[in-house]
Amino acid sequence: MLSRENMLQLFPKSARFVDIYLPFIQAVTNQYQINTPRRVAAFLSQVGHESAGFTVLLENLNYSADGLAMTWGTRFAQKDSAGKYIMVKDGSRLRRMPNADAQGLHRKPEAIANRVYSDRLGNGSEVSGEGWLYRGRGLIQVTGKNNYRACSLALFADERLLTTPQLLEEWQWAVASAGWYWDMRRVNRLADGDDFEAVTKSINGGLNGHAGRVAVYQQALSLFEVCQ
């Protein structure tokens, strides 16, 4: 079902990596029984979105102040006295007004990671630097110390990812970690159903980029149903 040709049809920007990652994708989908058109289409659409089409294995946190306000509004956008976001017109669209914190973190990816990921996901305080150390890596963007530890125990039977988290930037472990996360969250069961939003929420925690995920899912589903 998975071939070089159909991967490039779905993710043309990944041409320079496809011969590296494809054997790992084939192995992981076999290992975790991601073996029906619905399951394969769902898996590829989700990990493809998280990795910018199989081209990026490390989270990019180089946000502008505007980007921070749009991505983490509760932290970085100004609100009025009624608690509603203050919106400003930017050409033909409206955007949230960044607050002072957003302005101070503008284009400072390490500081942003340490702010937004501190004291959660098993990370220490902002000054610990663990937000940056355990930022998103791998095809599915494993994030946070707790998830790195759990992933490490599953893949290596030890905690090596806590000291060498950059292993998830290597294709073998980038793909393996995505398979582990998919299986751990039991996403095959969700993929078998008709609620694709539930699949996205299980991976993303919300519906960020859902429309793009749906588009790839539908394209992949049509492709793999023909291949069967």
pLDDT of residue 204: 86
Quick one: pLDDT at residue 184? 95
Q: Which amino acid is at 125?
A: S
pLDDT in tens, 31-44: 999 999 999 999 99
**Percentage of residues of the chain with pLDDT beyond 70:** 99
Contacts of 39 (CB under 8 A, 6+ apart): 29, 33, 188, 191, 192
What are the residues whose beta carbons fall under 8 Å from the beta carbon of 160, sequence distance 6 or more?
152, 167
Other C-beta atoms closer than 10 Å to the C-beta of 94 total: 10
156 compared with 228, residue with greater pLDDT: 156
pLDDT band of 228, cuts 50, 70, 90:
low
Rounded Cα distance between 46 and 42, Å, is 6
What was the pLDDT predicted at 206?
84
pLDDT at residue 167 greater than cutoff 70: yes
Residue listed under structure tokens 């000054």 = 127
Q: Name the least confident of 88-92, 111-115, 130-134, 175-179.
A: 88-92
Among the CATH numbers 3.40.50.150, 1.10.530.10, 1.10.10.10, 3.30.720.210, which is that of 4-57+170-227?
1.10.530.10
Going along the chain, which residue ranges are E strands? 87-90, 93-96
Cα–Cα dist 173/160, whole Å: 12
Name the band, by pLDDT with cuts 50, 70 and 90, for residue 227.
Answer: low
Give the position of tokens 């079902």. 1
Q: Please give the average per-residue pLDDT across 60-82, as a whole number.
A: 94
pLDDT digits (tens, 9 = 90+) for 110-121: 999 999 999 999
Which residue intervals of the chain bear CATH 1.10.530.10? Answer: 4-57+170-227
User: Measured in whole angstroms, how far is the alpha carbon of residue 128 from the centre of its chain?
Assistant: 23
DSSP secondary structure, 131-180, as one string? HHHT--BTTTTB-SHHHHHHHHHHHHSS-HHHH-GGGGGSHHHHHHHHHH
Does position 207 have pLDDT exceeding 90, yes or no? Answer: no
**Which of residues 29 and 204 earns the better pLDDT score?**
29
